[in-house]
A and B are shown apart, each in its own frame.
Chain A
Amino acid sequence: MTQLDKTRWDVIVVGGGNAGLCAAIEAAETGARVLILESAPKPYRGGNSRHTRNFRCMHRGPLSVLTGSYEEDEYFDDLIRVTKGKTDEHLARMTIRTSEECLPWMEAHGVAFQKSLSGTLSLSRTNAFFLGGGKALVNAYYNTAQDLGVTVAYEAEVKHVVVEEGRFQGLDVLIGGSETRIEGRALVLASGGFQADLDWLADAWGPAARNFLIRGTPYNRGVVLRDMLDQGADSVGDPTQCHAVAIDGRAAKFDGGIVTRLDCVPFSVVVNKDGERFYDEGEDVWPKRYAIWGRLVAAQPDQVAYSIIDSKSINNFMPSVFPPETADTLDGLAQKLGLPGTKLRETVTAFNEACQNGTFMPTELDGLSTNGLTPEKTNWARPIDTPPYYGYSLRPGVTFTYLGLKVDDTARVSGPTGRFANIWAAGEIMAGSILGEGYLAGFGMTIGTVFGRIAGQEAAKHVA
Chain B
Amino acid sequence: MSLDTTPALTPVDEARRQVEICNACRYCEGYCAVFPSAFSQRAFSDGDITQLANLCHNCRGCYYACQYTEPHEFALNLPAALAEVRVESWERYAWPKGFARLFQESGVALAGALVVGIALLFFALTALTPEAGEGFYAYLSHGAMVAIFTPAFLLPLVAVGIGLHRYWRDVDGRPITFAHLKSAFQDAARLKNLSGGAANGCNFEDGDRYSQARRHAHHAVMYGFLLCFASTSSGTVLHYGFGMEAPYSLFSLPKLLGVPGGILLTIGATYLVWLKTKADPDLGAASVWGGEMAFVLLLGATGATGLALYAATGTSWVAPLLAIHLGTVLAFFVTTPYSKMVHGFYRLAALIRDAQRPSGAV
User: A and B: real partners?
Assistant: yes
Q: Which one, B29-37, B238-246, B344-352, is touching chain A?
A: B29-37
Once A133-B65, A133-B67 are accepted as A-B contacts, the answer to whether A319 and B27 lie under 8 Å apart by CB is no
CB distance from B2 to the nearest CB of A (A): 8
Bound-state CA distance A257–B39 (Å) is 19
Q: Which residues of B contact A50 (CB under 8 A)?
A: 67
Bound-state CA distance A115–B29 (Å) is 9
> Is the CB–CB distance between B26 and A119 below 8 Å?
yes
> Is the CB–CB distance between A131 and B197 below 8 Å?
yes
Q: What is the chain B residue whose CB lies nearest that of A143? A: B209
Q: Which residues of A contact B197 (CB under 8 A)?
A: 114, 131
Asked if B73 CB lies within 8 Å of chain A CBs, one says yes
Q: Which residues of A contact B64 (CB under 8 A)?
A: 132, 135-136, 139
* Tally of chain B residues near chain A (CB < 8 A): 36
**What's the count of A-B pairs with C-beta under 8 Å?**
94
> Is the CB–CB distance between A132 and B24 below 8 Å?
no
Asked if B25 CB lies within 8 Å of chain A CBs, one says yes
Using an 8 Å CB-CB cutoff, how does the interface string of A94-118 with B read, 1 for contact, 0 for none?
0000000000000000001111011
Which of B21, B24, B208 contacts A318, CB < 8 Å? B24
CB distance from B221 to the nearest CB of A (A): 26
Once A114-B198, A252-B73 are accepted as A-B contacts, the answer to whether A321 and B27 lie under 8 Å apart by CB is no
Using an 8 Å CB-CB cutoff, how does the interface string of B149-177 with A read, 1 for contact, 0 for none?
00000000000000000000000000000
Q: Which residues of B contact A252 (CB under 8 A)?
A: 73
Bound-state CA distance A139–B36 (Å) is 24
Asked if B20 CB lies within 8 Å of chain A CBs, one says yes
> Is the CB–CB distance between A259 and B24 below 8 Å?
yes
Bound-state CA distance A139–B198 (Å) is 16
Once A117-B26, A117-B29 are accepted as A-B contacts, the answer to whether A257 and B68 lie under 8 Å apart by CB is yes
> Is the CB–CB distance between B20 and A131 below 8 Å?
no
> Is the CB–CB distance between A131 and B71 below 8 Å?
no
Asked if A177 CB lies within 8 Å of chain B CBs, one says no
Q: Which residues of A contact B67 (CB under 8 A)?
A: 50-51, 133-135, 255, 257
Q: What is the chain B residue whose CB lies nearest that of A216? A: B67
Q: Which residues of B contact A114 (CB under 8 A)?
A: 29-30, 197-198
Asked if B200 CB lies within 8 Å of chain A CBs, one says yes
- B26-60 CB contacts (< 8 Å) to partner A: 26-31, 36, 39, 42
Bound-state CA distance A412–B138 (Å) is 86
> Is the CB–CB distance between A132 and B27 below 8 Å?
yes
Bound-state CA distance A328–B352 (Å) is 40
> Is the CB–CB distance between B20 and A321 below 8 Å?
yes
CB distance from B325 to the nearest CB of A (A): 44
Asked if A53 CB lies within 8 Å of chain B CBs, one says yes
Once A132-B65, A136-B64, A321-B24 are accepted as A-B contacts, the answer to whether A143 and B200 lie under 8 Å apart by CB is no
Q: Which residues of A contact B62 (CB under 8 A)?
A: 132
Q: Which residues of A contact B73 (CB under 8 A)?
A: 252
Bound-state CA distance A117–B1 (Å) is 22
CB distance from B292 to the nearest CB of A (A): 26
List 9 A–B pairs whose Cβ atoms lie within 8 Å, in order of A's numbering: A112-B198, A112-B200, A112-B210, A119-B26, A131-B198, A136-B61, A255-B67, A319-B20, A320-B24
Name B residues whose Cβ lies closer than 8 Å to a Cβ of A: 1, 20-21, 23-31, 36, 39, 42, 61-62, 64-74, 197-200, 208-210, 362
Instruction: A117-B26, A252-B73, A258-B25 given; name 9 further pairs at CB < 8 Å.
Output: A43-B70, A114-B30, A117-B29, A118-B26, A129-B30, A131-B31, A136-B61, A259-B25, A261-B24
